[in-house]
Amino acid sequence: MGNETDRLSLLAIKAKIVEDPLHVLSSWNDSIHFCQWQGVTCGRRHQRVTALDLQSRELVGSISPHLGNLSFLRELLRQNNSFGNEIPPEIGRLPRLQILQLSKNLIGDQIPINISRCANLIYINFSHNGLVGEVPVELGSLSKLAIVNIEANNLRGSISPFTNLSSLRNLFLDRNYFDDSFPDGFDQLKKLQILALGGSLPWDLGITLPNLELFGIAGNQFTGSIPVSISNTSKLHELELDQNNLTRKVPNLARLQNLKWLTIGDNQLGCGEADDLNFIYSLINATNLQYLNVGLNNFGCKIPESIGNLSSNLQLLSLDNNQIFGSIPPGIVNLVGLQSLYMQVNQLTGTIPSGIGKLQNLDELNLLNNLLSGLNNFQGNIPPSLGNCSNLQKLLLSQNNLNGTIPKQVVSISSLSIYLDLSQNQLSGSLPMEVAKLINLGYLDVSKNLLSGEIPSTLGSCTSLETLRLGNNFFNGTIPSFLSFLRGLASWIL
């Protein structure tokens, strides 16, 4: 009898689906046993439905109340479709349900109270829907619940129902309209590792949640400052605050010794004062730091000399689009693990450190739109040691005051495959014949300089070039015939 109940329930579920462009449900008929229908998994012993997987199938319709008759169901996966209407309260008749995945649909109305009867639930994901109202207090009785994702809905009110979920590890609440304060008891969530919030940042964040390992609020509308108490979350290894409207200064982070990932870019941090970047001193203790992004802010000071004492594991350092001035500290070449270094659109002066070649893992160096120049015009300002950066794919030094000649070592970096942009400087001399080694390069721009001499015929070896810009220089001679043989060349300006 139970088997027949499951079969009839599945057919009722099918009846609520009005569009099935991929013909997922074409197998749902009496020609084969329902346990062989696409998306259906049955247990071996009782031949009852234990999993229903209809995720990402472009289905349109609603969730049938008959779902509640699949009493052996453990997993329900319906994410990334166009199911609308409500979550039927009959879902509370699934005592064995462990995974409930309904994200990225068109589901509205409230979270049904009856979900609290699914005592074995471990994972709930209702994100990116149109749910309204408050989170039911009854949800707090789900003692096994470890992961809850209800971000990007229209939920409001208190988040207090979650304070009783002693097994909770990951909680995603952002892009809703919840109250902006932590309820009493939130500090009892000892297993909580990941918390994504919506609203403003409470001053006692680090005191209330000292065991956080990941804190992410990127891409929201948070205002105000970063709470000083964040330094109390000593287990934190990822702190993602980028793309908000945070202001003022970044607090001391010296106690975050486990930090691997810090992104505070695209905010309004900084006050244009000399100690704007002092928090970098405090990151020296984070010996496993791999990713540091402070770009697109209002930091207006010199780069601390101590930046060279950051972790040798640092792979990305982004200081771009600020009002940072002064010279690039020579010690930056100690960050031998760097793969990407972004300092573009600032007011940096002085020279590129001569030891830059020590950064042999660099694949992108972007210093465009600064005021870099130097004192020694005879040797020039682009250090030949850049040639040692044998993994470089992008090198952007345009829109500076660089003068002198282009080192042959720089145009000999055969790994350059995406960009080499030296335009809008005051570089002089000829374009080195060694440019022939740029056989993988797609974009070469040396325009708007003081270069002279003949355009080297060896450019004909650069068979991957798609864009070549040589204009606004003092090259002489005729247009090289090899240009017509560069098949991939989409545009060139002489």
Q: Name all domains of the chain by residue range, CATH numbers in brackets.
A: 349-494 (3.80.10.10)
The 8-class DSSP code of residue 360 comes to: T
Distance (Å, rounded) from C-alpha 178 to C-alpha 152?
A: 11
Torsion angle in degrees (nearest 10) through CA of 406, 454, 390, 322: 50
DSSP state of 14: H
pLDDT at 198: 64
Q: Mean pLDDT across the chain, nearest whole number? A: 92
Beta pairing partners, 101: 77, 125
C-alpha of 241 from chain center: 11
Q: In angstroms, how far apart are the furthest CA atoms of the chain?
A: 92
- 20, two tokens: 């099935």
3-state secondary structure of 177: strand
At residue 375, the pLDDT reads 56
| Separation between Cα atoms, residue 400 and residue 459, nearest integer Å | 25
pTM comes to 0.70
**DSSP three-state, residue 485:** helix
Q: Would you say residue 378 has pLDDT above 60?
A: no
Of 290-304, 418-432, 461-475, 479-493, which gets the smallest average pLDDT? Answer: 479-493
| Residue of 241, 246, 298 whose CA lies nearest to 264 | 241
Q: What is the mean pLDDT of residues 27-53?
A: 94
Selection from 413, 446, 411 nearest residue 427 by Cα = 446
Q: Is the pLDDT of residue 136 over 60?
A: yes
Q: What is the CA radius of gyration of the chain?
A: 30
Q: How confident is the model at residue 484 (pLDDT cuts 50, 70, 90)?
A: low
pLDDT per residue as tens digits for the range 190-210: 888 888 876 878 888 888 888
Provide the pairing of β-strand 194-196 with 170-172. Answer: parallel
- 3-state SS class at 187: helix
Phi and psi at residue 43, to the nearest 5°: -75, 145
